Chain A
């Protein structure tokens, strides 16, 4: 099975993606991660304004079969959360890099320390 790994994202080894858009960074979980979890039924997200350090767990994602923490790929302050997921958590399965995004950060650092798409592809091979 092959998984979608968009070129415009960088990745954390624990399967989160980060994408820079006009000075903010949007964060979600990868196609591989949503497939491993299966049907997502519940997402718990942080409050806006919360300050995250790199690899802080900032939320929880529950599928029918598992509970998983979600980790911040980089340090920053939460500026937006995708509250649509509270009612439609299955968007994480349907569109993990699009409508299934989780939070936006005002970043305190660059994305340079994260895995490139190729490096992430090697990890999940």
Chain B
């Protein structure tokens, strides 16, 4: 199967980016160095091409209800111009994907837009259409993944840099709000969202205008490598890696995102999750800091100091900001408290680690 190419693929190649297959897309993983890119975002500003993220538009009289019944959060609470983080779960409460659902501003040509992860757009489009049929709802569903490019501008200097390219009142745009605005002369949606823990925006613009917006935002280009180290430092989940419906099925309570489960709404998986919430999950996603040298990575075993197996690392890295190895792992619930002694097995060697709360950055 050939890889899907983001609209800026050639532009990234021209500046010497390295590429990787991510969710079926040929994406830049590194422009200069992960450390350089990571530091730019923590201390100044960086831009990411995240056009591999999906976009599904939902319109019509029942659009809100359809989105509400297929996501864990409460879509009915969203006024036009507001968005929310949510999980998409199956009947067992297992997370299929995580997403941001936007109630688009009034001038948009669709009522709602949600953002599945890379490679999940067709699956989620099908899920929305089949449930619309099953429930007899009146809504149109459109996969706009290759209609929009998506550019994330992240870092403490992001507001200042974006203000040079748009007349939109950025101070008036609260976290998870979205507005329609011209950016570098291109009609776009600007959302105050991101995946780095820094101030910043995600900009949706027409696929063919991506280069105009990208080149106008003059700052450090960042690849998926830095995107990963930045999100791990915040303890943010990566779909398919920190949860996967077949390989590592997890519910939102285990994954630490119980705050997006609105049990007072009706959605697929609600009843199962209600039971799990009452009982408490058996395992939880826990942060780990390594005291020994080494880099914890996906799939590494976590044990007690005596070598009894507790779980596996789902994400890990050498934190560029902290200069120490950090990881996320599903461990028995009693390990959710900080400062408990565990071991991460790296190439057969148990390395000392302590549990910690996330985000890793204070």
Interface residues of A (CB under 8 A from B): 1, 38-39, 41-42, 60, 62, 64-65, 67, 86, 93
Contact = CB atoms under 8 A, between A and B. Distances in A.
A42 B34 CA distance: 15
Contacts of B229: 64
Contact of A65 (B225, B293, B294, B347): B225
Given A41-B295, A42-B295, A86-B293, A64 B318 contact: yes
A38 to B, nearest CB: 6
Contacts of A39: 33-35, 320
A64 B29 CA distance: 12
Nearest to A42: B295
A93 B30 CA distance: 15
30 contacts: A1-B16, A38-B30, A38-B33, A38-B34, A39-B33, A39-B34, A39-B35, A39-B320, A41-B295, A42-B294, A42-B295, A42-B318, A60-B347, A62-B294, A62-B295, A62-B318, A64-B34, A64-B35, A64-B225, A64-B295, A64-B317, A64-B318, A64-B320, A65-B29, A65-B30, A65-B34, A67-B295, A67-B297, A86-B293, A93-B33
B345 to A, nearest CB: 14
A64 B232 CA distance: 12
A38 B37 CA distance: 12
A62 B347 CA distance: 12
Q: How large is the interface on B (under 10, 10 to 19, 20 to 34, 35 or more residues)?
A: 10 to 19
A3 to B, nearest CB: 13
Contacts of A86: 293
- Tell me if A's interface is mostly helix, strand, loop or mixed: mixed
A1 B318 CA distance: 27
Contacts of A62: 294-295, 318
The 4 closest A-B pairs by CB, nearest first: A41-B318, A39-B35, A64-B34, A62-B295
Nearest to B34: A64
A42 to B, nearest CB: 6
A38 B293 CA distance: 18
Contacts of A1: 16
A93 B347 CA distance: 23
Interface string B217-231: 000000001000100
Interface string B1-38: 00000000000000010000000000001100111000
A25 to B, nearest CB: 26
Nearest to B16: A1
B231 to A, nearest CB: 13
A67 to B, nearest CB: 7
Which of A38, A65, A86 has the most chain B CB within a 10 Å cutoff? A65
B120 to A, nearest CB: 23
Interface in B263-318: 293-295, 297, 317-318
A48 to B, nearest CB: 19
Contacts of A41: 295, 318
A61 B307 CA distance: 26
